[in-house]
Structure 1
Amino acid sequence: MNSFFSALLEHSFLQMAVAAALLASIGCGVIGTYVVVKRITFIAGGIAHTVLGGIGAALYLGFNPLHGALLAAVLAALLIGWVRLHWRTQEDALIGALWAIGMAIGVLFIAKTPGYQADLMGYLFGNILLVPAESLWFMASLDAVLLAVLVAYHQQFLAVVFDEEYSRLQGVPVTFFYLLLLVLVAITVVLLIQIVGLILVLALLTLPAAVASQYAHSIGRIMIIATTLGMILSVSGLALSYQPDLPPGPVIILLAGGAYLLSTLFTRATQRRDAIRATQTTSLAPNDG
């Protein structure tokens, strides 16, 4: 890792990679918390895999692939949200269809893009080392939008996440804020695909928040822990992959998965120990009868 930090001071592409990792971690921690608490991981996965269709179409038409990814993600989020609200029995089938169709369309468009030999693996598994400066500005803008919306409507999102029916009775426009939440998930997916790609995006979106939820019980604290953990995992994965010349995305995900497994084992062991102590304390307590 020492060689990585030495190179970090010399090479601008590594500096931009670290900046991209930090920017993506903000959306990862904040929106990932809502995804985990609301239990909409499958919906987030459907949105993520639809993005390849937008990337392929944008490349074919000569536009910025990130803009195509954002458009496809938002449209998929709105469609999935509408079906969940009005045709819930078909939700899983629709997500599965969008998942497959989006990737198929993307592969076909990329294959037929004239004069452009696209690196499909780069989109599927990410390539944080090739993030250009203009993408950093795009990511920073998306982060700003996420944070502005969440700060403005934090209470409404909490109401929708924890109790839709009660919120509806209290006059909260649940449908609007649920769809808005899915749009924010779509924006976060676009942030993360540059780091770990479409295949692994779901893990980075959910694992830091899943770990954080084992140690904190308020939404705000989970977000802070998840964001911090996402930053640590992303930069550590980038550093560990540098010397052996490994793809950073999968290394980041392996670290995240390892952190989740270790954290789960630790919390389970702690809970079991506390339960044993409580049982022993109860059995040793004097009997008033």
Structure 2
Amino acid sequence: MSPVDFIADLFNPDLAFLPKALLIAVMSAIVCGVVGCYVVLRGMAFIGDAVAHAVFPGLAVAFVLSGNLVLGGTIAGVITAVLVAIFSQHRRLKEDSVIGVFFVAAFALGIVIISRAPGYAGSLQQFLFGSITGIPDRDVYIVAITGLALLMAMFLLHKEFVTVALDREMARALGLRTFWLDLALYVLVTLAVVISVQTIGNILVLALLITPAAAARLLTDRLAAMMLIAPLIGGGCALVGLYVSWSWDLPVGGTIVLTLTAVFLTAWVLAPRHGLLARYV
């Protein structure tokens, strides 16, 4: 399928789900690209995978009750994030250990809940690997509004997040409330994951959060530039991935992730200062 044919399909009224899927994929990729920069800076790649597990019971409950998936996932993720932030204050327990306990338990709870719903296998596959069909119109507006709110919150807390990411002890010495900043970051990551799940799936959403930011990290030493490059990579790969998946009848989530991975590998080899070739030359 040529790009012209793809554009024609986007405007085809019989394929109304396609432009909605594209909008949600691109908006989710942009938001995840920005949030992912803070996650990569703090070396917290595990948190993205963990949050994806944490939102699953909320998604399952919303599905069983025919409620809103975004709202259900957000509630579950925020509750779990609060528990992690509280338990992580215990000095004998490191943050990654607490995350491992609560987020995996949340995912297990989600599997138990959704197993009680009719069509269990199909529903589970949709949650785990995403689906571009059947996206309600209201979800496009919810993702757009949530995404804008996330970007605004990150703009307001940008200096504090960067300070904590670079030197946690200095942040405490400066009087910053690291507990509340950790909690705020968990909530932002949770919301970014929730709005991405429908298109790319619960299992693959980590790539949307981490890979664009990691690629941008290789391309620039400036944080401001990184936070511009990452969402551009994410949004561009979402567009290309959807086009390739639609043209060749491939799974959307997997195709987007492979596109992101290809961009990351290209940056790893060809990045001007930190690429493999630059280091040898």
Scaled by the length of structure 2, what TM-score is found?
A: 0.90
Task: Give yes or no for the alignment of 1:135 onto 2:139.
Answer: yes
Task: State the distance in 1 between where 2:92 and 2:167 align.
Answer: 18
Structure 1 alignment gaps of length 5 or more: 274-289
Aligned to 1:107: 111
Alignment partner for residue 165 of structure 1, among 164, 169, 172?
169
Report deviation, 1:8. Answer: 1.3
Indicate the SS of the match to 1:85. coil
Report deviation, 1:161. Answer: 1.5
Task: State the distance in 1 between where 2:220 and 2:211 align.
Answer: 14
CA gap 1:88/1:26 in 2 versus in 1, 3 angstroms: farther
What's the RMSD between the two structures over aligned residues?
1.9
Report if the CA contact (8 A) 2:33-2:208 is conserved.
Answer: no
Report deviation, 1:87. Answer: 4.1
Report deviation, 1:117. Answer: 7.8
Task: State the distance in 2 between where 1:44 and 1:81 align.
Answer: 15
Task: State the distance in 2 between where 1:38 and 1:91 align.
Answer: 12
Structure 2 alignment gaps of length 5 or more: none
CA gap 1:88/1:197 in 2 versus in 1, 3 angstroms: farther
Q: Which amino acid aligns with 1:272?
A: Y
Report deviation, 1:9. Answer: 2.1
Equivalences for 1:115-154 in 2 at 5 Å? 119-154=123-158
- Number of aligned positions between the proteins: 273
Task: Give yes or no for the alignment of 1:67 onto 2:71.
Answer: yes
Task: State the distance in 2 between where 1:246 and 1:87 align.
Answer: 47
CA gap 1:130/1:222 in 2 versus in 1, 3 angstroms: farther
Report if the CA contact (8 A) 2:219-2:267 is conserved.
Answer: no
Task: State the distance in 2 between where 1:62 and 1:226 align.
Answer: 34
CA gap 1:272/1:254 in 2 versus in 1, 3 angstroms: same
Aligned to 2:95: 91
Report if the CA contact (8 A) 2:50-2:99 is conserved.
Answer: yes
Task: State the distance in 2 between where 1:115 and 1:154 align.
Answer: 43
Q: Which amino acid aligns with 1:65?
A: L
Task: State the distance in 1 between where 2:81 and 2:225 align.
Answer: 26
Equivalences for 1:254-265 in 2 at 5 Å? 254-265=258-269
Q: Which amino acid aligns with 1:37?
A: L
CA gap 1:62/1:9 in 2 versus in 1, 3 angstroms: closer
Aligned to 1:9: 11
Task: State the distance in 2 between where 1:215 and 1:245 align.
Answer: 32
Indicate the SS of the match to 1:198. coil
Task: Give yes or no for the alignment of 1:252 onto 2:256.
Answer: yes
Task: State the distance in 1 between where 2:164 and 2:129 align.
Answer: 33
Report if the CA contact (8 A) 1:83-1:90 is conserved.
Answer: no
Deviation beyond 4 Å, 4+ runs, structure 1: 114-118
Equivalences for 1:167-206 in 2 at 5 Å? 167-206=171-210
Report deviation, 1:81. Answer: 2.4
Scaled by the length of structure 1, what TM-score is found?
A: 0.88
Aligned to 1:269: 277
Alignment partner for residue 82 of structure 1, among 56, 72, 86?
86
Report deviation, 1:88. Answer: 5.5
Report deviation, 1:238. Answer: 0.3
Q: Which amino acid aligns with 1:174?
A: T
Task: Give yes or no for the alignment of 1:49 onto 2:21.
Answer: no
Task: State the distance in 2 between where 1:22 and 1:37 align.
Answer: 23
Task: State the distance in 2 between where 1:140 and 1:5 align.
Answer: 22
Q: Which amino acid aligns with 2:168?
A: E
Q: Which amino acid aligns with 1:133?
A: D
Moved more, 85-94 or 194-203: 85-94
Q: In terms of Rg, which structure is larger?
A: 1
Q: Which amino acid aligns with 2:180?
A: F
